Amino acid sequence: MIKLHNKYFKPFISAKKIDDALQRMASEIAEDVGDEIPVFIGILNGSFMLTSDFVKKYPKTCEVTFIKLASYEGVKSTEDIQRLIGLTQDLTDRTVIILEDIIDTGNTLNEVYRIFKNEKVKSLKIATLFYKPEAYKKDFKLHYIGIEIPNKFIVGYGLDYDGLGRNLPEVYQLKEPQYMTNLVLFGPPGAGKGTQAEFLKEQYNLVHISTGDMFRYNIKNKTALGMLAKSYIEKGALVPDQVTIDMLNAEVEKNTDANGFIFDGFPRTNAQAEALDALMHSKDSQINAMIALEVDDEVLVQRLLERGKTSGRKDDANESIIRNRIKVYYQETAILKEYYAAQNKYYGVNGVGSIKDITVRLSHTIDKI
């Protein structure tokens, strides 16, 4: 998967397949033109790469030149095609073969035929590497076709998306935005977010992102991020927003194929909630719900002390740090209930009981959403 500007593209046609198609076209054309020396005309910018590869495969003498017309703006094929530049040589009585990277609506061909009407060429033929039959709206004959493709936006091998992607040696297809389910699993330290996320991620095929786990991983591996986060975490304080937000963004970007995410331990501040909304928005998606595990403070303290016996977590090790984490939760994080409630996305779930019972409660809530 690759990202160009704000869109994702997935591999579609390999370099090998393109190569085979060009080889076949070169052989067919060479046979058809017989002893004549054709003039191949590549239409810039898109056909620069195919023209170069094609003429190397052409087994006989030929001439090569380029003309330029603009055709695409963004991902839509525009109706008005600009004028041509670059046709300077006399083509009277010549066999001219236009090399196009792609033919979709056929608008470019209109222009080509209009331009060549006055050129008194012997014959004008069209060769295109890619052809979208579903999009083609014209009657002009296409003499040589490399590969037929469905009506999808593609980039690579000369084709671009707003200027990017032309240099890719293979072709990629626009990945349509898919519907994602994104949940914020919320609650004070010790509420059971991590435990429940493990079940829910399997059940709903979601990617679980725990910012606490990510920090601990970085601390264990002594990364710069870990060093920075360590002092905050060991006091039971929050790591600064920008550090946390950057880390979270990078993790989400790594999972471009996800059906959705369970965010565990994030967001913890208003700034983080806003950053998360912006991130989801950039993916044409959103947070669907905040699901909060509701547990009394004294139960939390007992649970964390118990966990501290085996977790090896310094922030679970003594009661004063645990109480500080709970205090930080009420001071800085609990307000997010309002943030999501205002968007009708807050769902409270009783977080006391057996792990299994709580998973069932959570599933009921998620299924309703």
Q: Contacting ligand AMP (CB under 6 A), which of 8, 113, 116, 232?
A: 232
**Which residue numbers are catalytic?**
193, 268, 307, 313, 325
233 in contact with ligand AMP (CB under 6 A): yes
Residues 6+ apart with CB under 8 A from 170: 11, 12, 13, 14, 15, 18, 156, 157
Q: Contacting ligand AMP (CB under 6 A), which of 72, 153, 215, 261?
A: 215
What is the total count of residues that contact ligand AMP (CB under 6 A)?
Answer: 17
Q: State the nearest-atom distance from the C-beta of 316 to ligand AMP, in Å.
A: 9
Q: State the nearest-atom distance from the C-beta of 271 to ligand AMP, in Å.
A: 10
In the complex with ligand AMP, the residue whose CB is nearer, 77 or 244, is 244
208 in contact with ligand AMP (CB under 6 A): no
Site for ligand AMP in 234-273 (CB under 6 A): 236-239, 244, 265-266, 268, 272
What does the buried/exposed string (b/e) look like for 259-272 if buried means 16 or more CB atoms within 10 Å of the residue's CB? Answer: ebbbbbbbbbbeeb
The span of 105-113, 162-170, 196-204, 209-217 binding ligand AMP (CB under 6 A) equals 209-217
308 in contact with ligand AMP (CB under 6 A): no
In the shown chain, the binding pattern of residues 136 to 175 toward ligand AMP, with x for contact by CB under 6 A and - for none, equals ----------------------------------------
The span of 32-40, 127-135, 149-157, 230-238 binding ligand AMP (CB under 6 A) equals 230-238
Distance (Å, whole) CA 44 – CA 35:
27
Contact 280, 287 (CB under 8 A): yes
Q: State the nearest-atom distance from the C-beta of 182 to ligand AMP, in Å.
A: 15
The span of 21-29, 38-46, 120-128, 232-240 binding ligand AMP (CB under 6 A) equals 232-240
- Interaction site with ligand AMP (CB under 6 A): 189, 211-212, 215, 232-233, 236-239, 244, 265-266, 268, 272, 315, 325
